[in-house]
Amino acid sequence: MSRRNGSGETGKDAAIRVDDLVVELGGVSVLDGVDATVERGTFVGLVGPNGAGKSTLLRSVSGLLRPARGSIVVDGVSIAGRSSKAVSRLVATVPQNTSLSFDFDVRETVAMGRSPHLGRFERFGDDDERAVSEAMARTDVSQFADRSVTAVSGGERQRVLLARALAQDAPVLLLDEPTASLDINHQVRTLELVRDLVASGKTVVAAIHDLNLAAHYCDELLLLGDGQVLASGDPESVLTEANLETAFDANAVVSRHPVTGSVYVTALPENHRGDREGRVHVVGGGGSAARLLYLLDAAGYDVSVGALNEGDSDTETARSLGLDTVTVPPFAAVDAETQTAVESRVRDADVTVVADVEIGDGNRANLDAVRAARSLVLVEERPFAERNYAGAAAAETYAELRERATVVSPSRVVGAVAAAVDEAQNPTDAGRNSDATRSAQSSQSSHSSHSSQSSQSSRSSDHRS
């Protein structure tokens, strides 16, 4: 936890220092000039896409691979040219998958962790016995010490391997995907255990492909991509959208997890922008619109949202999607100026969507602004009466809006918006019913009075058809 110990002694007392490391496998350089420092007593997560060189880096530090260039110093000792016995007293490895298909029992398996400390003709002594028992107690595997390793579950097996590494009594632990094949309770249990080990002085480097687990449990992250270190430091500074884009070539959204407070990464489908065109304004709040915003944005619409309070979860979502967002300060009411801003967006929009949001005095002005909408979709999960805290006036406004709106359940919003946008953009196509006619008229009027954007998209869709 170097961050907490302060950065004054950075590097001086490092558990692992890697300098300009180049590792080639089969003539291809897998690591290409990696520099990294791991402070004593920290938990460092190695993240990056498949093939970035995470395992290769771990295998180099454990002395398994001989670097083509560069140096690795563990606990002040350069591991180049050391015997595997000497290295295995400094570095213990918990492998990703091991062939535990032999009928050794759990205790025997853990006892193999003592082999770096035993001479060829040396007997297993009391010290060794104690180290094994402690390691098993620590990892909570003592209760099935006499069971065969082939007969324990995946999560238990992971703890047995961790116990074996602990019995090795090395200051540095390397874990290769410790959670890869575990279900979520064992993932958390394993990492909590690792966290405890770090707290008691071990230094841990783990390759972890789950970015959110890595962000939550690690003190620092090292982001590898194409054999190089793309970023390193605390999780917040490493897991940025720009870094993720570079490393994973993925479209990810970074936010904070509401419960744990850790950095939270959500990957969005790669080709997330649909080819829908048109402007949509959304009225939401309190999380009622988050999914809606994502779906509409993903479908390709030009989405605006508001008015929302700063700090609202919908605001967070809108920001992370990069949407045009009208906001007021936390807990403040929507004032006249903001209402005008919302109104202008509603007018510009082909369709306005009102989410299943609770209406109070603070955000009643949003409903008033929505009156200007050309075409309207109301999302109803609960009847309006159940979520109206703004009295009869609001109910009246809502009823008036409902009169001319398409009312849908949350699962059908995108379809309804698509239909409404088509109608709004192709007035000649419409005219089958009064609603459609009305929205077509309002569409035309807005063409003359307002946005050129809207008419452009209208033209382009004409062009398309």
Partner 1 sequence: MRIETRTGVWSVALLVVLAVVVLVSAGIGPVAITPSTVAKATLNGVAVPASVSFGQASVAGVTLPTPTVGYVHPFSFPVEGSHQTIVTTIRLPRILLGAVVGFALATAGVVMQGFFRNPMADPSIIGVSSGAAVGAVAFLVAPFAFPFGLGLQGAAFVGALLTAFGVYLIATEDGRTPVATLLLAGVAIQTFLGAVISFMLLHSGESLRQVTYWLMGHLDNASWGDVTVAALLVPLLFFVLLAYGRDLNVLLLGEEDAHSLGIEVERTKRVLLAVSSLVTAAAVAVSGVIGFVGLIVPHVMRLLVGPDHRILLPTSALAGAAFLVATDTLARSGTAELPVGIVTAALGAPFFLYLLRTQEVRSV
β pairing state of 406-408 and 376-379: parallel
Say if CB 67 and CB 227 are below 8 A apart: no
**Span interacting with partner 1, options 107-115, 272-280, 323-331, 383-391, rule CB under 8 A:** 107-115
DSSP structure string for 419-457: HHHHHHH-GGG--SSHHHHHHHHHHHHHHHHS-HHHHHH
- Taking alpha carbons only, the member of 247, 458, 251 closest to residue 349 is 458
Q: How far is the CB of 157 from partner 1 (least distance, A)?
A: 12
Taking residues 117 to 146 in sequence order and writing x for each that binds partner 1 by CB under 8 A, - otherwise, the string is -x-xx-xx----------------------
Choose, by CB under 8 A, the member of 98, 240, 251, 255 that binds partner 1: 98
Choose, by CB under 8 A, the member of 5, 29, 115, 451 that binds partner 1: 115
Q: How far is the CB of 119 from partner 1 (least distance, A)?
A: 10
Name the helix (H) or strand (E) containing 269: none
What SS3 state is found at 375?
A: coil
3-state SS, 349-369, equals CCEEEECCCCECCCCHHHHHH
Task: Evaluate the CA torsion angle 296, 297, 298, 300 in order and state its sign.
Answer: positive
Q: Angle 290-299/313-321 helices, nearest 10 degrees?
A: 20
Name the helix (H) or strand (E) containing 334: none
Determine if 103 is a binding residue for partner 1 (CB under 8 A).
yes
Choose, by CB under 8 A, the member of 56, 88, 366, 406 that binds partner 1: 88
Say if CB 152 and CB 163 are below 8 A apart: no
Name the E strands within 123-166. none
Question: With the CA atoms of 132, 138, 143 and 147 taken in that order, what torsion angle do they form, in degrees rounded to the nearest 10?
Answer: -50
Tell the residue number behind the tokens 């918990």, with chain if given. 94
Choose, by CB under 8 A, the member of 7, 50, 101, 465 that binds partner 1: 101
149 vs 221 by CB, closer to partner 1: 149
Choose, by CB under 8 A, the member of 78, 83, 260, 441 that binds partner 1: 83
Determine if 26 is a binding residue for partner 1 (CB under 8 A).
no
Instruction: Identify any residues that bridge with 305 across adjacent strands, giving them in sequence order.
Output: 282, 325
Determine if 60 is a binding residue for partner 1 (CB under 8 A).
no
Q: How far is the CB of 98 from partner 1 (least distance, A)?
A: 5
Determine if 464 is a binding residue for partner 1 (CB under 8 A).
no
Determine if 116 is a binding residue for partner 1 (CB under 8 A).
yes
Taking residues 167 to 186 in sequence order and writing x for each that binds partner 1 by CB under 8 A, - otherwise, the string is -x------------------
Determine if 260 is a binding residue for partner 1 (CB under 8 A).
no
203 vs 243 by CB, closer to partner 1: 203
**Span interacting with partner 1, options 30-38, 104-112, 139-147, 195-203, rule CB under 8 A:** 104-112
Q: What angle do CA 396, 399, 402 make, to 5 degrees?
A: 155
Say if CB 374 and CB 351 are below 8 A apart: yes
Task: Evaluate the CA torsion angle 219, 225, 227, 232 in order and state its sign.
Answer: negative
Determine if 92 is a binding residue for partner 1 (CB under 8 A).
yes
Determine if 95 is a binding residue for partner 1 (CB under 8 A).
yes
149 vs 377 by CB, closer to partner 1: 149
**Span interacting with partner 1, options 93-101, 177-185, 261-269, 397-405, rule CB under 8 A:** 93-101
Choose, by CB under 8 A, the member of 37, 42, 60, 62 that binds partner 1: 62
69 vs 82 by CB, closer to partner 1: 82
Task: Report the alpha-carbon distance of residue 366 to residue 307 in Å, rounded.
Answer: 7
113 vs 306 by CB, closer to partner 1: 113
Q: How far is the CB of 129 from partner 1 (least distance, A)?
A: 10
Give the residues lining the site for partner 1 (CB under 8 A). Answer: 59, 62-64, 83-85, 87-89, 91-93, 95, 98-104, 108, 112-113, 115-116, 118, 120-121, 123-124, 150, 164, 168
